[in-house]
Amino acid sequence: MTSTRPGWRLVVHGGAGIIERHRLTPEQDRSIRAALHRALEAGAGVLEAKGTALDAVEAAVKVLEDDPHFNSGRGSVLTFEGASELDAAIMDGETRKAGAAASITSTKNPICLARAVMERSPHVMLSREGADLFSREQGLEQAGQEWFALPERRRQLEEMKASGDWFDVDMKYGTVGAVALDLNGHVAAATSTGGVTGKRWGRIGDSPVIGAGTYADDRACAVSGTGAGEYFIRLGVAHEICARMRLCGDEAQAAADSVIAELGELGGAGGVIVVSPAGEAVWSFNTAGMYRGRASAEVAEVAIYGDEE
């Protein structure tokens, strides 16, 4: 008896948090949904053409990095000192090769630098000045701080400083990410972020940490997360979901829900997107909303609020 391989799948996210209808204007709602659709279209175009999951997640994340509505690439939040420091990671589920960049300041699309680290260096993660130098040496497109640091992010930084709080006063984790399954049965994950508003002392969150905010393994699934990075790191959220599926036989939704529930028990907030070689394409979050979308050859859908299917 021969098994039928599922078609391609793609899931994207643009962050989670206190995302409620009264907090978004109708124009913001429309613009965010349109951006999620564009990301799905970019990744779906790769997969429809029999491209790799790795190419698809990179293409989808680049769209979100270039959109100022999300906390990644252009529109990233600012450090306490008022600068943009960006993190990204990418992982191939077939080979389990991975690349990441942390606290970078001048690569227009951080996800491209993460992939370059994976494919053109002997390392998994580069950071700060060294990562910026590697990016220039690899000929990746550069951008100045004026590209990343938008006026609204400066306003948010001043509001956070005035509040005396540690993190984003709006409690929105604007990390972006994508996971995909290609027609050859391989999965991949990609995540990109500006971190949290007002971060200090070179803080790095979960997004570039392989196994925390990003992970892919053809034996289980691909995961990209968004949320309170310190908690995602402590739990190893992305790897934990994969481990539950591979070692315990959990289905994707059950594994994601269980780990997000544990995240909440520790006091953490956020969400994940997951795709498996079996064709499961799910999300799970414990916040009021999460910018999210998924697509297959048959359908494409996006959602923002917690009460949407």
Neighbours of 94 (CB within 10 A): 17
DSSP code per residue over 182-243: -TTS-EEEEEEE---TT--TT---STTSBTTTEEEETTTEEEEEEE-HHHHHHHTHHHHHHH
Question: Phi and psi of 106, rounded to 5°?
Answer: -140, 10
Contacts of residue 170, Cβ cutoff 8 Å, sequence gap at least 6? 17, 18, 23, 156
Taking Cα atoms as reference points, which of 152, 158, 166 lies closest to residue 195? 166
Query: What tokens appear for 159 in the block?
Result: 């509001």
Can you point out the beta strands (E) in 49-164?
Answer: 86-92, 98-104, 125-127
As annotated, the active-site residues are 175
User: CA 231 to CA 218: how far, in whole Å?
Assistant: 25
Tell me the sheet residues that pair with 19.
none
User: CA 246 to CA 231: how far, in whole Å?
Assistant: 22
Query: What tokens appear for 120 in the block?
Result: 């053109």
**Is the Cβ–Cβ distance between 211 and 100 less than 8 Å?**
no
Query: What tokens appear for 255 in the block?
Result: 């594994």
**Contacts for 25-29 with beta carbons within 8 Å, 24 or more apart?**
28/69, 29/304
